[in-house]
Amino acid sequence: MNLFEEAKKYIPGGVNSPVRAFGSVGGEPIFIKKGKGSKIYDVNNNEYIDYVCSWGPLIVGHCNERIVNRLKEVINDGTSFGAPTELEIELAKLVVEYVPSIEMVRMVNSGTEAVMSAIRLARAYTNRKKIVKFEGCYHGHSDSLLVKAGSGALTFNQPSSPGVPEEFAKLTLIAEYNNIDSVKNLFLENKGEIAAVIIEPVAGNMGVVLPKENFLKELEELCKNEGALLIFDEIITGFRLCKGGAQEYFGINPDITTLGKIIGGGLPVGAYGGKKEIMEIISPVGPVYQAGTLSGNPLAMAAGIETLKILGEDNFYENLKTKSLKLWEGFKENCKKLNLNFAFNHIESMACMFFKEGAVESFADAVKSDTKLYAEFFHKMLNKGVNLAPSQFEAMFVSSAHSDEDIEKTIQIHYEVLKEMFG
């Protein structure tokens, strides 16, 4: 039986999230049976070294023993109560301890939900309507934010989507990543109307694009001067760049932070948090409504807690960085040997090679990449047992489960593939 054909009969496009369908690289998606550590296995028992890591959450690898054991313990006591549990306090405490600007946090079930709620909160707190986002940044698929969004939307050439009323999209203003003047202009043209600026502090949904020196600092100051809130969407960067995410890494103090992916350790969790004064206008303390039947779900909390505990152990990030750098340096060395000058952006354990020469510092740069070359590269890597994201405009992630052997093998395969393509 062809599983993809079967899936397509019952699920639109055969998938529950569009990029999984291989639309931008062609061919058919592999169906996964299981994962362990750094590897995933498809239904035909082929093994792949995995650098998608469920699109970021699995920073400690697949099927981590500690997480699985904790889940087994928790599941014996039930799966959901719709009433408070101690586990929610435990995860909230860890988040407040790790993330510098978060004094209080509310758990939700996905990144999309976290961002949607954060936007509502920012609008209520400032009593303003407009939002500034950056071209190529993705903040989930809620209506206000599905405008000029990266990755899936980008891959499918749908910068916005039918079904999003113009009236909503009009309240979302678009700035250029790494261009502070573009934000200043929006503030000039919309004096006193902008509730918040939302940004991925390191963009991870148009490939990986790093903030230029001072860009985030200038953004922080600009927001403060204009009375707008700064929202850091740290759904990728949170617990990825370091324990405290991009805000700790770059020394920025956002007003609201959204979290997702790693915080759930592979289970569906999102969260938004910030200063107490802002968070306490959320219901039931304040008037801003936001709720969730399964929010704070005990299984999801348990996976998050165990993951964050592992991240808090000595040298976790140092070791991850050493490993990642070895891989990034290997890739760069391969390119040099073959006289290839493709842009390669990386920070800590996330990276992206763009099939484009010259720097990639914005969305306009990123989209100059040759996606046909990426598709060829992707399939060749996959055939040799390395799983990358099926889109040029995504990050690859290293986990603590990747071994030196995995890294060396990946560097070797990367060389073979590039040599076949360009040698």
Ligand X SMILES: *Cc1c(COP(=O)(O)O)cnc(C)c1O
Residues of the shown chain interacting with ligand X in the complex, contacts defined by CB under 6 A: 110-112, 115, 138-140, 200, 204-205, 233, 235-236, 260, 270
Say how many C-beta atoms besides its own lie within 10 A of residue 205's C-beta. 27
Nearer to ligand X, 150 or 342 (CB): 150
The least distance separating ligand X from the CB of residue 345, rounded to whole angstroms, comes to 16
CA–CA separation, 302 vs 417, rounded Å? 40
Q: What is the DSSP letter of 396?
A: E
Nearer to ligand X, 115 or 305 (CB): 115
Quick check: is 255 catalytic?
Answer: no
φ/ψ (deg, to 5) at 130: -85, 150
Of the residues 48, 138, 177, 317, which is catalytic? 138
Q: Which two tokens stand for residue 277?
A: 């004064």
Residue type, 138: Y
Could you tell me the sign of the dihedral formed by the alpha carbons of 149, 154, 157, 163, in that order? negative
The least distance separating ligand X from the CB of residue 21, rounded to whole angstroms, comes to 15
Of the residues 130, 133, 177, 233, which is catalytic? 233
Is 198 strand, coil or helix?
A: strand
Nearer to ligand X, 219 or 407 (CB): 219
Question: What's the chain's Rg over C-alpha atoms?
Answer: 21
The least distance separating ligand X from the CB of residue 217, rounded to whole angstroms, comes to 20
Residue 341 burial by CB count (10 A; 0-12/13-18/19+): exposed, middle or buried? exposed
Q: Which two tokens stand for residue 106?
A: 């509310």
What is the strand order of the sheet 32-36 is part of? 32-36, 39-42, 47-50, 386-387
Q: What is the DSSP letter of 109?
A: S
Nearer to ligand X, 48 or 138 (CB): 138
Quick check: is 10 catalytic?
Answer: no
Nearer to ligand X, 205 or 297 (CB): 205
The least distance separating ligand X from the CB of residue 405, rounded to whole angstroms, comes to 29
CA 398: distance to chain centroid? 13
The least distance separating ligand X from the CB of residue 156, rounded to whole angstroms, comes to 15
Q: What does the longest C-alpha to C-alpha distance in the chain come to?
A: 64
Nearer to ligand X, 223 or 269 (CB): 269
Quick check: is 261 catalytic?
Answer: yes
The least distance separating ligand X from the CB of residue 258, rounded to whole angstroms, comes to 7
Give kind and range of the element (H or E) at residue 353.
Answer: strand 350-357
Of all residues in the shown chain, the one whose CB is closest to ligand X is 111
The least distance separating ligand X from the CB of residue 199, rounded to whole angstroms, comes to 9
Q: Which two tokens stand for residue 390?
A: 């099926």
Nearer to ligand X, 335 or 351 (CB): 351
The least distance separating ligand X from the CB of residue 139, rounded to whole angstroms, comes to 5
CA–CA separation, 61 vs 36, rounded Å? 7
Q: Decide if 215 contacts 197 (C-beta within 8 A).
A: no
CA–CA separation, 350 vs 321, rounded Å? 10
Residue type, 360: V
Of the residues 130, 261, 323, 356, which is catalytic? 261
CA distances from 160 to 100, 164, 205 (A): 33, 8, 15
The two beta strands, 130-134 and 350-357, are unpaired
CA distances from 14 to 3, 29, 245, 388, 406 (A): 9, 9, 34, 20, 31
Nearer to ligand X, 24 or 110 (CB): 110
φ/ψ (deg, to 5) at 138: -110, 135
Residues annotated as catalytic are 138, 233, 261
